[in-house]
Amino acid sequence: MMGTQQRNFAPLVNVSLEALVPADNFYRHLERTLDLSFVREFVQETYAQGGRPSIDPIVFFKLQLVLFFEGIRSERQLMRHAADRLSILWYLGYDLGEPLPDHSSLTRIRTRYGIEVFRRFFEAVVEQCQQAGLVRKQPRALSWKAISRHAKKKEREADPLRREQQSSSLFPPQSPRNSTRTSANRIPSAMTGLSSWEHKIAG
């Protein structure tokens, strides 16, 4: 007889998120391997002494790692993805039902920190990975300066006015009847892998 799955969800009672994430989960391994406590020192000067407490800097940088490992293109999509994944909630230190930061807050924090903080963060994470034997100490194909130049180039290409000027120099003017309308608001798709992350922080 063909079965039918009934959608009848009982309320969770005495269930811990700790017990719901498998012991061999990737983010458990990441939590054991990378100690991100150093980021507090990196960003200490960007915060005022008083006022409302902000998002934990460690949570912010953990979210950046999630964005990188999951291949996510935007912070809005990142927060939707985090809300759907128990392992990511556990990695961030958020309990079931606890509200996550808004994606707009991540954008403001990224602007506040600046690219130099992200550069130091990258270097510290790579060093920890090398010490843990997760990556080999091989010469990098791209230097930080090369990646930064590429990110700035992408940013210039995304500017509507600059793109229009470049386009007008490459193609002769056409009559209105035969011209093809292009979207001035189209942003180039994010680069994949490490370059994707570098492009985002350079923005």
pLDDT at 3 over 70: no
**Confidence at 23, pLDDT banded by 50, 70, 90:** very high
**What's the pLDDT at 50?**
78
| Percentage of residues in the chain having pLDDT higher than 90 | 38
pLDDT in tens, 169-193: 444 454 444 433 433 333 233 333 3
| pTM summary value | 0.64
**Mean pLDDT confidence for 64-80:** 92
Q: Which long-range contacts (CB under 8 A, 24 or more apart) does 124-130 make?
A: 124/38, 125/34, 125/65, 128/33, 128/34, 128/35, 129/33, 129/34
Residue extents of the structural domains in the chain: 16-138, 139-166+189-203
pLDDT in tens, 129-139: 888 877 665 54
* Torsions phi, psi for 83 (to 5 deg): -65, -25
Mean pLDDT over all residues of the chain?
Answer: 75
pLDDT in tens, 137-156: 554 454 555 556 655 665 56
